Amino acid sequence: MATFGERIANFFSGNDTETQEGLHGLFVTELRNIYYAEKQAVDALGEQADAATTDEVRNAFLQHQQESRNQIARLEQVFQSLNVDVEEGSCAAIDGLAEDARMVVSNTHSGSLTRDAGLIMAAQKVEHHEIASYGSVVTLAQIMGHTQAAQLLQQTLDEEKNTDKKLTQLAESFINDRANSESGDMGSSDRDQYSGSVVNPDGTRYSDSSSQTYQSGESYSGTQSGSSTGSTGTYRSGNDATLGGTMGI
């Protein structure tokens, strides 16, 4: 019987057939779960776009909805490259996150920027889940030598990180301050500061010359992320506003 050290050596040399078969099954299962999650995300993004207050948030959701459709097609290419059937798995996480977004709509007033702030939070929860999921399957694809699959999945992972950054920038640029003003939690000096600022009826961004400059790389909550080791090397989450994401194997 091979020692643990020998099994590790065999695994990374590609000679551990048993483990390779187990990883392949895990890889395919995760891909099918992601495939299901992307399809659920497309439906959820449509609901969130309909519920959004401003055009900027609505358009961000619609843009990512189309991007998600492209990612579904890319996943189908991955299945084809592996010679496995295209099938949907399951994902309790995405089901729960979609329900969270519906609760945001139920618990906020229609036409409020507080609703937009909540919807952005809900959307970023989905992005962080997807970043973790894609980071994991990229790593598995690389370990097993599925070069084409790894490249396709990395492309989607990069898109998810970029979407997360855009949502952070959107929230920090105008949603959070105005939503805070709506809630009545701001001090009198803050109210005076923003009294001349409005969101136009069509939802376009208000003009505020006193807006502070934000550092992209903070998560929606404003907590600065650290660094994380991704599937293709080390990246700084300060560059993508994530909470972590990729899996180290």
Q: Output the pLDDT for position 3.
A: 72
pLDDT of residue 249: 40
The pLDDT tens digits for 109-153 are 999 989 999 999 999 999 999 999 999 999 999 999 999 999 999
Higher pLDDT, 120 or 14: 120
| Mean pLDDT to the nearest integer, 177-202 | 48
CA pair distance 99, 103, nearest whole angstrom: 6
Q: Which ranges in 52-187 belong to alpha helices (H)?
A: 55-82, 92-107, 113-143, 147-170, 176-183
Q: How far is CA 73 from the centre of its chain?
A: 18
Residue 227: predicted pLDDT: 40
pLDDT band, very low/low/confident/very high, at 35 (cuts 50, 70, 90): very high
CATH architecture of 19-180+214-239: Up-down Bundle (1.20)
Task: Note whether 245 and 228 are within 8 A (CB).
Answer: yes
The pLDDT score that the predictor gives to residue 15 is: 57
d(C-alpha 100, C-alpha 125), whole Å: 10
Across the chain, what does the average pLDDT equal? 77
Task: Name the strand (E) or helix (H) holding 44.
Answer: helix 17-51
| Domain positions in the chain | 19-180+214-239
Q: Report the distance separating Cα 47 and Cα 129, nearest Å.
A: 19
DSSP for residue 196? T
Q: What confidence tier does 1 reach under pLDDT thresholds 50, 70, 90? A: low
Tell whether the model's pLDDT for residue 14 goes beyond 80: no
Distance of CA 81 to the CA centre of its chain: 25
CB 168 within 8 A of CB 219: yes
| Residue 96, both tokens | 């729960």
pTM of the prediction? Answer: 0.68
- pLDDT one-digit tens code per residue, 43-101: 999 999 999 999 999 999 999 999 999 999 999 999 999 999 999 999 999 999 999 99
Return the higher-pLDDT residue of 203 and 68: 68
* The pLDDT value given to residue 210: 39
**Interatomic CA distance for residues 28 and 232, integer angstroms:** 20
Residue 162, beta-bridge partner list: none
State the Cα–Cα distance between residues 239 and 226, nearest whole angstrom. 10
> At a CB cut-off of 8 Å and minimum separation 6, what does 64 contact?
45, 123, 163
Q: Which pLDDT score is estimated for 172? A: 86
The one-letter amino acid code at 197 reads S
Dist CA 129 CA 150 (whole Å): 18
